[in-house]
Structure 1
Amino acid sequence: MNNNIITTLSPAATLEDIWIRVDAENKAEVARIAAKYKVEFPASSEGVFEDHDSVCLNITHMMPEAQDFRRETIVIAFSDKVVVTLEPKGHFAPFDKALARFKRHPGLVQSSYSIMRTLLQAMNDAAAETIDMISQALETMNDQIGVITSGLDSSGREIGVSDINDTMIELNEKEELISRCLECQLSLARAARYLRMEINGSDHELKNMVETLLSDMDGVKQHASFEHEKVRYLQQSVMTSLNVKQNQIVKVFTIITAVFLPPTLVATFYGMNFAVMPELTWKHGFTATIIQTLLAALLPLLYIKKKGWLR
């Protein structure tokens, strides 16, 4: 694109003249707009398409949906005269804030590049809100993991391995979600860099605004990276709790084995078919055998307790 052209549009131009919103599912309308404004939209597998008149980009964005999130792909083609957005289902919620800003600040409609910057700003603000929602969910999970670490729930019931596994699955989902948010931020920052390259070199104010936008995008990316590290830390905490839980289970079975093995050995002796067993003729032979069996069980238990293995 020729960077020496003047990008400010005529005063008579309205927002609807510059920003063309199209339902991405309406193939006939997409083809008409592409032919009218001489733009070629890239395939979903392509990130950027450039020609001598315009730049077209695929930008991914994570959208809140009920209790979950979905990834949407927004296609934006922009030139020095027009901005065309292909929006899923004919509506893209983050652009509602952009419309509100255009109404509050009509000066933002001075050029297609200024409109493009405002749209990217709205998407970045929405991304920041998504990261905040994930952060709040992780704060809630902090309490949940604290309960797991303590080993008992609010009712005093011992936390089981299945409870820990459920928490781990939830954390894995949060990690994947944040990873997708990071990927979306990368595509958003790429779009801002293309916008910066296309802006008229004399429009220093708009260039500075785009630089500020890039800094904001980097800040959101850093926040997402911080939340990603937090998820990894929580995952490690849960895995540690799971390992401790499993070690405790193994320890219990080991102690049970150590306590009952000597009495089992005593019972084995008296289960042998010897011809002569003097204890059978003793008056208190049965009592002595019971006491001997109890001592065989108690002595290992006392030894284990003395070593502190019961703690």
Structure 2
Amino acid sequence: MIHYYAQTDGALHATSGQTGTAIPPGTLWIDLMDPEPEEAAFIGQALGVEIPGREAIVEIEETSRLYQHGGALYLTATLVSGIRQQRPISSDVMFVVAADHLVTVRYANLPFFEYLEDKFLREPESHGSSEQIFISLCGSVVDHIADMLELMQRDLDEMSEAVFSDDRSAASARKPGRTDLQTVVKRLGRHNSALSKLRESLMSMGRVLDYSNQWASLWVSDPGLDRSRSIERDIRSLVDYVAKMFDEIAFLLSATLGLIDIEQNSIIKVFSIAAVLFLPPTLVGTVYGMNFRIMPELDWAFGYPVAVGLMVVSAILPYAWFKWKGWL
């Protein structure tokens, strides 16, 4: 699918296109969403650039992801989507940047692409060239990642409060259980996976901007270069923030697993004490349950109450001992 973004009445507006139809005049950005080979070939021929296929875009060598050819920059970034739906997916996006146009090739719906359309209407003066659109797109990617990190940090704060809450500790002391802690462990695992993909996106965008700045003389003005370097600084700060969040997740995971062990030990402790309390009465009952013919107590009138009393006393004495030692 081809989307053209052309300047009309001083602002960028999106229109859909088809293979073989003329590119609208004033087009600055062409977005190829899951393009067919014919669509990629048509745009490449119309603009005089090469549009790589999907196999070339997903290559992992840096020389295949970042290069300059024919006066245009070919930049591939790995971006993540689906964080809000808790289904993070990484996908590769190629930017073909030239002085008079920008072409993006992607194979997934990415939210920050849709956000740009509103931005075009709000700030038309900041999107009057391919350079400005590319930098604005990079900024939108970084802003979106920052929003996702803020969302994850709030969730981590809530989990931390729930795990270390005094109310929860009191409830666990009355009725030990692991269900809520197991849920926390699963949520931490999902956050760790999403955070890894967000860090990958940040580092990928950092490499894209660093490489594009090296060739800034081809297509970037001084204000655009300043904005690009500002985004790079934001990326570095977010990478540090991600490292802090990884440490927090590791601490929460370790603490949660420790609490699960404590609650498991509490359960085992209850069973162990119960076994000790019932062991002496069981011994007494076993002795008087033997079927020997000559047992003096069998003919004793007080034999039954004495045996029951022994069982009760033999259960009370260990209980009193545990209480005195502070084990209960």
Matched, 1:274 2:288: no
Determine the C-alpha separation between the residues in 2 that align with 1:219 and 1:66: 22
- CA distance in 2 between counterparts of 1:218 and 1:40 reads 30
**1:238 and 2:256 correspond:** yes
Whichever residue aligns with residue 59 of structure 2, its letter is: S
User: d(CA) in 2 for partners of 1:52 and 1:198?
Assistant: 11
Query: Of 39, 45, 65, which aligns to 2:50?
Result: 39
- Offset, 1:62: 2.5
Structure 2 length-normalised TM? 0.79
SS of structure 2 residue aligned to 1:271: coil
C-alpha contact (below 8 Å) 2:11/2:121 kept by paired residues:
no
Counterpart of 1:81? 100
Per the TM alignment, residue 191 of structure 1 is displaced from its structure 2 partner at its CA by 0.9
The equivalences for 1:209-220 within 5 A come to 209-220=227-238
Secondary structure of 2:74's aligned partner = strand
Residues 60, 278 of structure 1: CA spacing in aligned structure 2 closer, same or farther, 3 A cutoff? same
Task: String of CA shifts for 1:26-62, please: whole Å, max 9, x gaps.
Answer: 3321222233332243331335142432332332223
Q: Of residues 16, 30, 42 in structure 2, which corresponds to 1:20? A: 30
Of 265-274 and 198-207, more deviation after overlay is shown by 198-207
On the 8 A contact 1:21/1:85 being kept in 2, the answer is: yes
Contact 2:11 2:124 in 1 (8 A): no
Output the CA distance in 2 between the equivalents of 1:159 and 1:80: 66
| Alpha-carbon distance change, 69 to 220 in structure 1, aligned in 2, over 3 angstroms | farther
Tell me the equivalent position of 1:200: 217
Alignment check: 8 A CA contact 2:75 2:95 kept: yes
More relative contact order, 1 or 2 (CA 8 Å, 6+ apart): 1
What letter corresponds to residue 182 of structure 1 in structure 2? R
Contact 1:62 1:184 in 2 (8 A): yes
> Does 2:160 align with 1:160?
no
Greater Cα shift, 185-194 or 41-50: 41-50
Residues 110 and 25 (structure 1), Cα distance of their counterparts in 2 relative to 1, 3 Å cut: closer
Confirm or deny: 8 A CA contact 2:209 2:228 kept in the other structure.
yes
- Cα shift readout 1:284-303 (whole Å, capped 9, x = no counterpart): 12111111111111111111
Task: Please give the secondary structure, in 2, of the residue aligned with 1:50.
Answer: strand
- Measure the CA separation in 1 of the matches of 2:87 and 2:141: 15
| Displacement of 1:17 | 3.0
Q: What are the superposed Cα offsets for residues 93-121 of structure 1, whole Å, 9 maximum, x if unpaired?
A: 31344444444545544653333222101
Query: What amino acid sits opposite 1:187 in the alignment?
Result: S
Query: SS in structure 1 opposite 2:32?
Result: strand
Q: Could you tell me how far apart the structure 2 residues matched to 1:286 and 1:34 are?
A: 101
Quick one: structure 1 residues 14 and 29, their matched pair in 2 at CA, closer, same or farther if it must change by over 3 Å? farther
**Is the 1:74–1:87 contact (alpha carbons within 8 Å) kept by the matching residues of 2?**
yes
Distance 1:151 1:180 in 2: 37
Equivalent residue, structure 1, for 2:81: 63
Unaligned runs of 5+ in 1: 1-12
What 5-or-longer segments of structure 2 have no aligned partner?
1-9, 13-25
Q: Percent identity?
A: 24
Deviation >6 Å, runs of 4+: none
**C-alpha displacement of 1:195:** 1.4
* Structure 1 position 183 matched with structure 2 position 207: no
The corresponding residue for 1:10 is none
Q: Note the alpha carbon deviations across 1:199-248, whole angstroms, 9 max, x for none.
A: 01994433322221101112222222222222222212211110011100
Range with greater deviation from structure 2 (42-51 or 214-223): 42-51
Question: Are the counterparts in 1 of residues 57 and 94 from structure 2 also a CA contact under 8 Å?
Answer: no
Q: 260-269 or 42-51: which moved more?
A: 42-51
The offset of 1:182, in angstroms, is: 0.9
Q: How many residues are paired up?
A: 295
TM-score of the pair, normalised by structure 1: 0.82
Structure 1 SS opposite 2:88: strand
Asked if 1 retains the 8 angstrom alpha-carbon contact of 2:66 and 2:208, the reply is no
